[in-house]
Each structure stands twice: as C-alpha cells, then as structure tokens.
Structure 1
Amino acid sequence: MVEIDGMKLVQTRAIANYIATKYNLYGKDLKERALIDMYVEGMFDLNELLKSCVFQPADKKEQHFTNMMDKTENRYFPVFEKVLKEHGKDFLVGNQLSRADVQLLEIILMAEEFKPDILAKFPLLQSFKARISNIPTIKKFLQPGSQRKPPTQEEDVSKMLKIFHS
C-alpha cells in the first residue's frame, strides 16, 4: 500500500500508473501510453519468471534457471533490443524517460544478478542501461545502501512460506 496525495493505493500497477502520470513518466498521449503499457506488461511477465526462480524445488531449480535464461536471452531481450533499434531514440517510447524505461532497467539489473554477462549480445540494451543508470536520481537510487531490494535469498523463502502456512 502507498499513501499519496491523501489516497491509500494498493495494487502495483495502479500505484505505478498513478505515480508515472503524476511525474510525467506515462507518455504524452494515448498512443504512447498504450506502448508503455504493452512494454511494461511484457516486462512484468519476465519479472515473474525471474522472481520465481528462488521458489523452485531443488530438483527443478536447474531446469527452471536454464528455461528462464533462455527466455530472457532469446525471447524478451531481443524484443527490447529491436524496439530500441527501430525507435532510434534514447528511450523505449517518445523522447523522454517513461515508466517503461525505469521498469526495463530494473529487469536488466535483476537478470544480471542471475547472469552478469547477460547483455553481451545486446549492445543497445548495454547502452540503454548505462544511459538510464546515469540519470542523477536513478544513479543515486542505485548506490549501495539504497532502497533497491536485493533478490530474495533462499533462506528467506522458507520464512515467508511459514507465514502463509502457519
């Protein structure tokens, strides 16, 4: 839950859309918003795949990891590399930072936590990561000790599951 502007908002997408609109990160028109939504929904799919890795049983973990990296490198990242190439701008949509750019940076950082050289075949994603990471407010947020959460540790999974199954 987020309390903002006298409201209590729940649901990640509703919160993200509200904040993106409030801070001009949600495109200049309906067409840009549709593209932002489309890209973000694809990133949420990849996000769920990456986050689910720690929840896999030990005997399925290696197979899940292989599948996850295959989809990241051969399905998702090629799409975003192509979007950046075809758009020909510094951002995924339009000529300014959007919610989609922030989300893509987070997905890249998550994927690199699993495989540090995952961007080796994606020069435009490499440039994108460097460019977006150097925006002053984002750069500050990415510094050690920031609020960006590390990936869930395996020992934390059993603690979380006990909460729901007690």
Structure 2
Amino acid sequence: MAPQNMKLIYFDGRGRAEVSRLILALAGQERTIYRFILLSLSGTPFGQLPVIEIDGKLFGQSIAIATYLAREFGFYGQSNLDGLLIDQAVQLGMDLLRVGFGAFMESDETKKAELTKTLKEVEVPKFYGFFEKLLKESGTGYFVGNSLTLADIFVRDVEYNISSRDVATADGFPLLQDLIKKVDTNERIKAYLATRKDTPF
C-alpha cells in the first residue's frame, strides 16, 4: 500500500518531474503533486529537484522517484524480466534526451543549428526505430504486457519533449504513434493533460 504521507515536489514546469506526475495522475494520486515557482534547494538531499517526501523524509533523483512510483502503483510489470524491459526502454529514452537537450541548450547559434540538424535527421530516427522495434517485439501495443507501464509513459514524455520543440514527430513510426495515442487518451492522463500549464520545459 502506498504511503499516506507522500509529496512530489518540483518547480512549476514539466522538466524532470513530469514522468512522475504522469504516473501519479494515472494512479489517481494528483493530490500528492506540489508545484513551486521558487524553492530553496538547500534542504534537498542533493541540492536539486525533484524530490519526493515520504513520511517526512526526502528522496531525490528523478528516475529513482519515477521507478518507485511505478512499482508502488503497479506500473512496473509483473516480473523481474518485465522490469528489465521497462528499464531498457526508459534508458533508451534517457539517451535520446541527453542528445536532445545538448542541442536545445546550446548557446552558440551555429553549433545549435548543426546539433539540431543531427538530432532531427540522425538521432531521432535512430531512437524512434529502436522504440518501434521493441513495440513490434512486444506485440501488444505496449512495451511490456497489455497495459501502460513506466516505459510507455516515459517514452511518450520523451516524444513530447522532441515534438513540442518542432524538431521531429513520430510520423513513419506507426507503433510509436499508436502508443502515444494510448497514453494521451487514457482518461486519467487526459484529464491531467487538460489542466497542465503550457511551459517551455
């Protein structure tokens, strides 16, 4: 059973807490989401956000938090092998995000244009091809099993980070497109997205 006293704490933007927020929304636990425009980081375990407070104790690291929540609320598969498959998709998504944010955050305009071109023409097709392959191997429309898991939520959030910056879309990757629809049309996630603020990050 999930702790009664739990708070997910992050700035008032999507950023590194959004996957955890989506997991909480999927679990019907939006009451545990806390947003701050300004917050001192001095009291956090590692001087950064997000953190999750459980029974008065703070824990950090976004992937650790999202994984904990997925396990707690039943979105982490049914076996250790399921967990491995989920982690595999999540870490592929992380690899793409690292490349993406390298381009998004580059201050030199010439270099930024070069990095963005490589992201659009090389990296995104490569990684979306990986996701398409995994979905084909699963054969269920999800990365693992027959319902949404952390892997589906994470990869959908990665795609949103890419497409919302007009870099690339999932066109040409039909299984990935279908997965995106599955996530976005889930009733609880749909309700959450309808009230989510439009922020650059």
Q: Normalising by structure 1, report the TM-score.
A: 0.82
> C-alpha separation between the residues in 1 aligned to 2:199 and 2:121?
22
Asked if the contact 1:119/1:125 (under 8 Å) is kept, the reply is yes
The alpha-carbon distance between structure 1 residues 67 and 54, as it changes in their structure 2 partners (threshold 3 A), is same
Which deviations, in whole Å up to 9, do the C-alpha atoms of 1:14-70 show, x marking residues without a partner? 111111110111111100001111110110111122223232121201101011112
For residues 168 and 185 of structure 2, the distance between their equivalents in structure 1, rounded to whole angstroms, comes to: 19
The one-letter amino acid of 2:164's match is E
Report the equivalent of 2:99: 49
- Counterpart code for 1:59: T
Match for residue 58 of structure 1? 109
Cα distance in 1 for partners of 2:184, 2:154 equals: 12
Q: Secondary structure at the match of 1:3?
A: strand
Which one has a larger percent strand, Structure 1 or Structure 2? 2
Secondary structure at the aligned position of 2:75 is classed as coil
Identity of aligned residues (%): 28
Distance 1:112 1:51 in 2: 13
Query: 1:66-110 CA deviation, whole Å, 9 max, x = no partner?
Result: 111123432100111111122111211122211000001101111
Deviation at 1:116, TM superposition (A): 6.8
Instruction: Summarize the alignment of residues 1-166 of structure 1 with structure 2, pairs less than 5 Å apart.
Output: 1-56=51-106, 57-115=108-166, 118-143=169-194, 145-146=195-196, 150-152=199-201
Shift of 1:117: 5.7
Deviations 1:124-143 (A, max 9, x none): 11111111110012112222
Q: Which runs of 5+ in 1 are unaligned?
A: 153-166
The 1:116/1:65 distance shift into structure 2, 3 A limit, reads: closer
SS at match of 1:120: coil
Over aligned residue pairs, what C-alpha RMSD do you find? 1.8
* Contact residue 110 and residue 151 of structure 1 kept, 8 A: no
Gaps (5+ residues) in structure 2? 1-50
- Secondary structure of the residue aligned to 2:164 is helix
Q: Tell me the secondary structure at the aligned position of residue 124 of structure 2.
A: helix
Alpha-carbon spacing, 1:44–1:32, altered in 2? closer, same or farther (3 Å): same
**One-letter identity of the residue aligned with 1:13:** I
Aligned residues: 150
Which residue identity is paired with 1:95?
N
Letter in 2 for 1:150: T
